Amino acid sequence: MTAIARISGVTSLPHSAAGMRIGLFGGSFNPIHQGHVLVMEETLRRLELDALWVLVTPGNPLKSHAELAPLSERVLNAREMIKNPRIKVTGFEDEKNFRFTWQTLAFLKTTLPDRRFVWIMGADSLADFHRWERWHDIARLMPIAVYARPGSSRRALASRAALALAPGRIDGEDAPTLAGLRPPAWVYLHGRQSSLSSSAIRAERKN
């Protein structure tokens, strides 16, 4: 772990208490932008969560790490941008040497069994969810909230994972009940969207 990680608590797990409803929103956030924050705020409100943890990953196994900024930089930038005190940012997966989402979720479920976690992801991630390591196990570990992304809805809802998990889907109006449901359970949330993307921001900065 780097000195800056130790000083700033980059890899610390956020504080929580028994019974809390906590959303988990993972990603590289390379860099974070207001589109990410929009999803955080909307899911926090619509799922009626007590807190939302932003899990800044060491690196997406399905993507190139050639342009990946250091973990500490990405965590600190996210903390600077996010103003909501109920949203906490951590890079704890790096300290645990977790590289796959199922490892993170299994650890949290085992370590904090009295919290009610919900995994949050964008519709673009649902479209490729079947490519994730042990994606069936992820769906069995905790409920999932999928938030609409520009141009991704049709592909996401017709994806292999969406079709396989169709029996566990609930209506958007029932989203506040999701944290208390036994997985596999998931909801697809339509709402405000942003066309911003981390890759486009990186390309603009390069130019």
Q: How confident is the model at residue 192, as a pLDDT?
A: 87
Q: Give, for all 207 residues of the chain, the pLDDT tens digit.
A: 444 444 468 999 999 999 999 999 999 999 999 999 999 999 999 999 999 999 999 877 766 666 799 999 999 999 999 999 999 999 999 999 999 999 999 999 999 999 999 999 999 999 999 999 999 999 999 999 999 998 888 999 999 999 999 999 999 999 999 999 999 999 999 988 767 565 655 456 666
pLDDT at 157: 97
Cβ contact 49:21 at 8 Å: yes
Query: In the sheet that 169-170 helps form, which strands lie side by side, from edge to edge?
Result: 87-90, 51-56, 21-27, 116-122, 144-147, 186-189, 169-170
pLDDT of residue 193: 79
Using CB atoms within 10 A of its CB, is residue 142 exposed (0-12), middle (13-18) or buried (19+)? Answer: buried
Q: How many residues does the chain have?
A: 207
**Pseudo-torsion of CA 13, 17, 22, 25, nearest 10°?**
0
For the chain, domains (ranges, CATH) are 21-205 (3.40.50.620)
pLDDT, position 59: 77
The per-residue pLDDT for 64 is 63
Q: What is the pLDDT of residue 150?
A: 87
CB atoms inside a 10 Å sphere around CB 141: 21
Give the distance between the most distant pair of CA atoms in the chain.
48
> How many whole angstroms separate alpha carbon 186 and alpha carbon 119?
9
Q: What is the pLDDT of residue 9?
A: 86
Task: Give the pLDDT confidence score for residue 62 in this predicted structure.
Answer: 62
User: Parallel, antiparallel, or unpaired: how do β-strands 51-56 and 21-27 relate?
Assistant: parallel
